[in-house]
Chains A and B, each alone.
Chain A
Amino acid sequence: MAAALEILTADPTAGADPGDIDAYIAGGGYGAVRKALKSMSQAELIEEINASGIKGRGGAGFSTGMKWNLCADRYPRYLCANADESEPGSFKDRLLLETKPHQIVEGMIITCYALGINLGYIYIRGEFFQIIDQMEAALEDARKHGFLGADILDTGFDLELYVHPGAGAYICGEETGLIESLEGNRPYPRLKPPYFPAAIGLWGQPTIVNNVETMAQIATIVDMGAEAYKEIGSEEDTTGPRLFGLCGHVKNPGIYEYDSGVTLRELIYDAAGGIRDDNRLKGVIPGGISAPILTPEEIDTPMGFGALGKLGSMGGTGGIIVMDETTSMVDALLNASSFAAHESCGQCTPCREGVPWMNDILRRIQNGKGREEDLDLLLDICKQIHGHTVCVFGQAPGVWPVRTILVKYWPEFRACIERKELVVLPVDESYLRPDQYEHIPPLPGNFRLKAEEADAAG
């Protein structure tokens, strides 16, 4: 069993209110800011983050060092810390926001210093209204202690950070949607190219959008040093500690901190205490609702970005949704699909029309009114959406859950259609094995089921 970590989940304020800046400082807090600003040059800091091997924690697992290096050489530049956490099954940012507000502020200060940024925002999901207040207070305290404002720690570095309450839609978390929202517009994601935030972002200027956990980790990297940080996890799966949120049918739902080598089985059965009522596992979504589902046979995978990618799934947000034998996979997919249909921003045709259409079809199947041709139709609609949308939403969570839950749990969907009612098959009969995916038409673009990958390669 991999050992649980206590880095991001450590309590530096030793039981005091997490927002208490004095307690935080007494526990070593703002040491990373002092170290970075006082003893490191901008270039050294960027190199340190590069060397740490950290991948961003927003979901895509993109190398943070690389993102920083891509930032266009134009000023002013801006920082947006992304705290819009709305992906179903994900709640790790919320924990950090509640327990480590100052560590997030530290990470933001260091990032801004490293990249020559003097103005940053933390975009917090609107529904987190208590957190928004707490974060405002944290920024005010940081300002009073001289960590924000003009000439921070007598280094000549000026920085202002502001909280921006989110506009109440999942799409506000997509980095260009977030930027539009910050500018006061509807959060319609922008076209990439040309609107890569690091090139043309907020107010048309180069902008770094990083997840809030990534921000907290930046402080950790500076604290520990890249050398030590790199020892945790692996480059391919991501270095550093990861926060995994377990929810659904486990005995002890919650956030667990491990390195990325921990397996899904360990997380479910050891960390979270196993399945409720000791039921059998039916399926598990390993990284937020968008992440393709894994069957009980696939849970010995390590939880790294690389390892899950090889399995045709993804690391995503680390929000793990566990479903036991009582779960109807038609219900589960309908739930995911309803979320996607509700949250599609509506800007582009394939997602606006295709995602709700699939939702209608799935609801019909759930109601026992599914037709023979519906499953192929669903796959065809997936194909028509995939790779044709403005932003990634159309695929994740638009297409991927449908594609993967439907393909893998095909027998259960077939049974519902044949018997004209909602049917929950016994676990072993409910899903296909990879060598049985063959009748499924492949998708264009970069995302394939594992069996298709093999096909494509062979």
Chain B
Amino acid sequence: MATITIDDRQYTVEEGRNLIDAAADLGIDIPHFCYHPGLAPDGNCRMCLTEMEIRPGQFGIVTSCTIRIKDGMNFRFNSPAVLDNRKGIMEFLLINHPLDCPWCDQAGECKLQDHSFDHGRGHSRFVETKRVPPKKDLGPHITLYTTRCILCQRCTRFCDEITGTSELGVVQMGSKSEIATFEGVPLDNKMSANVADICPVGALVTKDFLYKPRIWHYEKVNTLCPGCATGCNTTLEVLHQKIYRTRPRHNEAVNGHWMCDEGRFCYHDWQDADRLQSPLKRVDGELRQVTWPDAMDAAVSGIRSVLDGEGDSAMGVVGSSMATNEENYLLSKLGKEAFGSSTTGLNRKPDGEAWTSKSGFRIAADKAPNSRGAGDMLGADSLDDILRGIGDGTIRGLYVLGGDIGQTLPPEVAEAFGKLDFLVVHDVRLSDLADLADVVFPGAIPFEKNGTMTNAQGRVQRLNPAFPQAGGAREDGAILGYVGQRMGIEMGGTDPAEILEEISGRVEGYGGLTYDLVGDQGVMKGGEEPSEAAGG
């Protein structure tokens, strides 16, 4: 720790921390444009200039963004020289700026607006002609409103430092400088849309979030990306039960400040999916829409007849790496307590492509968010035991959690499931899995769920719902709870926080975990890392 002085007051801050970040920790805002905590400082915007004691009693102008805290440093954040400079920088940045806030998607979260309001001079002394470079289509996801660019180079540095793909650069010199791509080499990499998040103004925008409702209308929901086992922390922006935008939420231990494009835009596939409107029951060989009580009766009597006819172990359970820890836990409990010691399995997605960026950001090969947690809850990480049981005739019925919009069953699995006497499925759409079932319960998609998931590193993190379940769907936990109840066992509460408490007493590695402890930054299971660090 270091003791520093800011405007004659003393503070204790972390030694070596960047001054802008250290000040932010103290609740002091040093206005800045080009500095971003996820990128190396560049010192080009000059907005953050402040006065520092360079020799005893003598202050000089320095860039805050390049200062690392050392004990005894002494700053003046509000001297006339500092305030004058901010005013000057604001004027310079605005002389060529179009000020088209009324139709700029950044309005409301724009650094230029905010700092103008706080530090600008209120009127312009510029009577010359503004430069008006045309807008540019930079790549599949990103458009550059060139006029709005303040040349802070966060975007070029992102492509240099984080992805290592360097598609963006500056062309021309002086006030003619423009962000550009090379002819024929678009901004097209696995993380390209992050540049829109870090652009402090409305210059870089995603085509996905263009001419959308004003940003202050949205409800913000902190949750996780369901796109892969990395489990990037996200914030959803939601209006009228619709997601408009996903943005990465900072978590140094998981995704830093970033997320991948596939994960960012995957919400469309989920929220636009053709969802099941009600439970389904097989009647005369065909799936028909039925009421909840009807489906519940059919499920319970189907399960009973398997158990009664073939014995306890004839009913297996298959969890889902799309479902939360709590849902998978309830499923395994149902299997153990209502079906007798049943065989468990996990239906995993075939691996996709793994990718690691220059800076170490990882996209997992496992394209499901909770394989690790589901495996922990079920004590199984594949369908091997289930398939064997079906093969040798010991398993005659299954209770399967589905829930993936992309789901396809491999042919051998589909064939095996087809041999069963009775199959209950939770799913979100009429998938090939649902297609084999005798009873289908319409479950929730990850964006509708409350619960925890465990990412590939073993970090337990919270999932929060953006909106209630669509159409006729129900929370999977509630469905499982009701089935359990009908089977005559005590399932306990179906509130995820309560279930997590139960999990913490029963599942290895989850000891001591509570919703509060998991918080919004997650915590490593098995206490591999002190709970304190997980929050920081």
Contact = CB atoms under 8 A, between A and B. Distances in A.
Interface in B40-86: 43-47, 49, 61, 63, 66, 81, 84-85
B175 A352 contact: yes
Interface in A371-407: 371, 377, 383-385, 387-390
Nearest to B41: A191
Interface string B146-188: 0000110000000000000000011011111100000000000
Contacts of A283: none
B126 interface: yes
A420 interface: no
A444 B92 contact: no
Contacts of A357: 92, 95, 126, 128
A355 B174 contact: yes
A25 B174 CA distance: 46
B96 interface: yes
Interface of B is mostly: mixed
A348 interface: yes
Given A349-B92, A354-B92, A344 B45 contact: no
Nearest to B127: A371
Contact of B46 (A348, A356, A361): A348
B94 to A, nearest CB: 9
B517 interface: no
A384 B177 CA distance: 21
Interface string A337-370: 0000111111111101111110011001000000
A169 interface: yes
A342 B172 CA distance: 10
B93 interface: yes
A353 B93 contact: yes
Contacts of B177: 346, 352
B89 interface: yes
A186 interface: yes
A371 to B, nearest CB: 8
Contacts of B125: 377
B89 A343 contact: no
B474 to A, nearest CB: 55
B175 A350 contact: no
Given A191-B63, A350-B92, A356 B44 contact: no
B176 A349 contact: no
Contacts of A341: 174-175
A334 to B, nearest CB: 14
B105 interface: no
B45 A348 contact: yes
Contacts of A355: 174-175
B91 interface: yes
A109 B46 CA distance: 40
The winner among A169, A194, A360, A388 for most chain B CB atoms within 10 A is A388
A196 to B, nearest CB: 13
B418 interface: no
Given A350-B46, A384-B88, A389-B46, A342 B95 contact: no
The winner among B61, B63, B88, B172 for most chain A CB atoms within 10 A is B88
Contacts of A387: 61
Nearest to A171: B173
A431 to B, nearest CB: 27
A409 B275 CA distance: 78
A231 to B, nearest CB: 36
Nearest to A394: B46
A364 B85 contact: no
A348 B84 CA distance: 17
Given A186-B170, A353-B93, A346 B88 contact: no
A352 B85 contact: no
Contacts of A361: 128
Interface residues of B, number: 35
A192 to B, nearest CB: 10
Contacts of A346: 151, 170, 172-177
B46 A444 contact: no
A353 B175 contact: yes
A344 B128 contact: no
Contacts of B174: 341-346, 352, 355-356
Interface in B364-414: none
Nearest to A344: B174
A188 B173 CA distance: 10
Interface string A192-227: 011000000000000000000000000000000000
A360 B46 contact: no
A349 B45 contact: yes
B173 A343 contact: yes
Interface in B128-157: 128-129, 150-151
A350 B89 CA distance: 6
B173 A169 contact: yes
A349 B47 contact: yes
Interface in A215-272: none
Contacts of A360: 128-129
Contact of A384 (B45, B92, B96, B176): B92
Contacts of B88: 350, 354, 383-385, 388
B66 A191 contact: yes
Interface string B78-122: 000100110111011101100000000000000000000000000
A357 B88 CA distance: 13
A217 to B, nearest CB: 32
Interface in B173-223: 173-177
A350 B44 CA distance: 9
A176 to B, nearest CB: 12
Contacts of A364: 128
A193 B43 CA distance: 11
The winner among B47, B84, B128, B175 for most chain A CB atoms within 10 A is B175
Nearest to A389: B46
A259 to B, nearest CB: 35
B150 A349 contact: yes
Nearest to B90: A349
A164 to B, nearest CB: 20
A354 B176 CA distance: 13
Nearest to A377: B125
Nearest to A187: B173
Nearest to A387: B61
A339 to B, nearest CB: 11
A356 B173 CA distance: 11
Contact of B93 (A191, A343, A349, A383): A349
A342 B66 CA distance: 28
B512 to A, nearest CB: 45
A385 B89 CA distance: 9
The winner among A342, A347, A355 for most chain B CB atoms within 10 A is A347
Contacts of A344: 173-175
Contacts of A194: 66
Interface in B304-351: none
A371 B46 CA distance: 29
16 contacts: A191-B66, A345-B173, A346-B173, A348-B43, A349-B44, A349-B89, A349-B92, A350-B46, A352-B92, A352-B174, A353-B92, A353-B93, A354-B88, A364-B128, A390-B43, A390-B46
Given A348-B46, A389-B46, 10 more contacts: A344-B173, A345-B173, A345-B174, A352-B92, A356-B174, A364-B128, A383-B88, A387-B61, A388-B61, A390-B44
Interface of A: 169, 186, 188, 191, 193-194, 341-350, 352-357, 360-361, 364, 371, 377, 383-385, 387-390, 444
The 10 nearest A-B residue pairs measured at CB: A384-B88, A346-B177, A353-B92, A344-B174, A360-B128, A356-B175, A191-B43, A346-B174, A348-B44, A349-B46
